[in-house]
């Protein structure tokens, strides 16, 4: 009985890993939800030591330190940026910061000090939108005794609203929900190894295409239904006349 329960547990864990339920953890992560008009929502999930090391911010890296949300909010504020959420957590003995912000033009993110390490380009070329972001050198501020083992990872993730004719994600794959990912060891990010992000996307959103397809299907069904009613009515009149 115990063996059967153990086997079921192993199968469940294997399925969870294969299905992506167990999400990989990152020491620093930028998750960008880009719209076709150039506006975007950016979620940043990072440990306080990573924020200090990568961006040079003045925060206490101690796991017992009290983090002021308003101070964190001010770090991410900038022209054309609305910080909508700031939350705190703890993981692996380190304080974690989760920030969500909105920007009307993704190209303006470089005016925010914490994102000045990146250049952003978003423009229409022929029948596609082209997005190009280059993440450059960090502040590389020294932090010590924060529990890093050398296996920590950094990720830049994008949610694309339309079909993707081209991208240069190292995995060469598009995850479910049109998600692309560029992953890098934290050690490489601290050295200043650049991250080159290139995406081409169709000018019509997936939602618009889906609604158009759904509308066409409904219209076709209504026309078919009307033709069936007309045929039945006509056939019935013919039978009565006979």
Q: Which residue in this structure is represented by tokens 């989760």?
A: 98
Q: What does DSSP assign to residue 110?
A: G
Cβ–Cβ < 8 Å for 135, 118: yes
DSSP-assigned beta bridge partners for residue 223: none
Q: Could you give the angle at the alpha carbon of 77 between the alpha carbons of 131 and 38, nearest 5°?
A: 25
Higher pLDDT, 38 or 235: 38
Q: How confident is the model at residue 206 (pLDDT cuts 50, 70, 90)?
A: low
Q: How confident is the model at residue 13 (pLDDT cuts 50, 70, 90)?
A: very low
Instruction: Return the closest-CA partner of residue 98 out of 36, 26, 192, 152.
Output: 26
Please give the Cα distance from 103 to 214 (Å, whole number): 31
pTM: predicted TM-score of the whole model, two decimal places: 0.77
DSSP-assigned beta bridge partners for residue 181: 157
Q: How confident is the model at residue 86 (pLDDT cuts 50, 70, 90)?
A: very high
pLDDT of residue 201: 97
Cβ–Cβ < 8 Å for 135, 195: yes
Mean pLDDT of 85-93: 96
Please give the Cα distance from 140 to 150 (Å, whole number): 15
pLDDT tens string 125-163 = 999 999 999 999 999 999 999 999 999 999 999 999 999
Mean pLDDT of 176-192: 96
pLDDT at 214 over 60: no
Ranges of H-type helices in the chain: 2-18, 48-55, 69-76, 186-191, 206-241
Mean predicted lDDT score pLDDT of the chain: 85
pLDDT at 198 over 70: yes
């Amino acid at each position: 009985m115990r063996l059967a329960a153990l086997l079921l547990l192993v199968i469940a864990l294997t399925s969870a890993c294969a299905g992506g339920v167990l999400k990989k953890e990152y020491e620093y992560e930028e998750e960008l939800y880009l719209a076709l008009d150039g506006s975007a929502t950016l979620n940043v999930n990072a440990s306080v030591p990573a924020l200090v090391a990568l961006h040079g911010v003045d925060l206490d890296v101690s796991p017992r330190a009290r983090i002021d949300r308003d101070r964190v909010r001010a770090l991410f504020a900038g022209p054309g940026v609305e910080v909508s959420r700031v939350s705190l957590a703890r993981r692996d003995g380190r304080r974690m910061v989760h920030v969500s912000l909105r920007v009307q033009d993704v190209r303006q993110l470089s005016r925010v000090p914490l994102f000045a390490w990146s250049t952003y380009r978003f423009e229409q070329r022929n029948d596609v939108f082209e997005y190009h972001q280059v993440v450059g050198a960090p502040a590389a501020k020294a932090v010590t005794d924060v529990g890093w083992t050398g296996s920590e990872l950094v990720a830049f993730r994008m949610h694309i609203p339309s079909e993707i004719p081209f991208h240069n994600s190292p995995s060469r794959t598009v995850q479910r929900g049109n998600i692309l990912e560029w992953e890098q060891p934290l050690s490489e990010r601290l050295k200043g190894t650049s991250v080159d992000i290139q995406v081409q996307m169709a000018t019509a959103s997936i939602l618009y295409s889906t609604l158009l397809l759904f509308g066409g299907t409904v219209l076709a069904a209504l026309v078919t239904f009307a033709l069936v009613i007309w045929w039945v009515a006509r056939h019935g009149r013919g039978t009565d006349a006979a």
